[in-house]
Chains A and B, each alone.
Chain A
Amino acid sequence: GAVVSQHPSRVICKSGTSVKIECRSLDFQATTMFWYRQFPKQSLMLMATSNEGSKATYEQGVEKDKFLINHASLTLSTLTVTSAHPEDSSFYICSARDQGAGTEAFFGQGTRLTVV
């Protein structure tokens, strides 16, 4: 299957700082990438849909000014958590769709964010 690389896998930051998470499709082009947040023992919660060359579409209740998404190329989307707070600590996962294929999405390894 297609490979999606997410970096970093773990990050610890201080309250008030910003953290950038990268999501790359390694062997395919992705016009659409998705950013999820997952709490322990829960399902994936979609935060936003990232579209190459245009603004991201945020789900209801997700602050777009706090979770900045940039999808500048067909292989890279970034999520920046701005002015992080301890309640932002979570597992963040990206996924990407091969624009030439079907509906299935391929996931990155996830990023464990801890804000102290």
Chain B
Amino acid sequence: GQQLNQSPQSMFIQEGEDVSMNCTSSSIFNTWLWYKQDPGEGPVLLIALYKAGELTSNGRLTAQFGITRKDSFLNISASIPSDVGIYFCAGGAGNNRKLIWGLGTSLAVNP
């Protein structure tokens, strides 16, 4: 099925560094969602974006809905060890439509 292009695939950083990851699509989405998944758990919603150009923060996390509606990025500032996990983007085309998922970005933080 359709998937989003998410990059980077993995990152290994030092504690305190900032992190940036992004997703791109050939299709337009009405919604961009960012999730974090810990091992053996279901994904947890971090940020939901609904308008082109929207910039939303959740603590140290900031995400933006690209103006073309075909991309989104997620930034994490001042990373800490508990930021370790896999981050997924997902695009939504409407309330009754399924989400399209990125392949994930695996983040490792060295204390």
Contacts and interface: CB of A to CB of B under 8 A. Distances in A.
Bound together: yes
Interface of A: 1, 4, 6, 32, 34, 41-46, 49, 59-60, 91, 93, 95, 97, 102-110, 112
Contacts of B42: 4, 6, 93, 95, 107-110
Interface string B77-90: 00000000000100
B103 A42 contact: yes
Interface string B31-57: 101010000111111001010000000
Interface of B: 1, 3, 30-31, 33, 35, 40-45, 48, 50, 88, 92, 94-99, 101-104, 106
Contacts of A95: 42
B40 A112 contact: yes
14 contacts: A4-B42, A6-B42, A32-B96, A34-B99, A46-B1, A49-B98, A59-B1, A97-B95, A102-B50, A103-B31, A103-B50, A103-B94, A104-B92, A110-B40
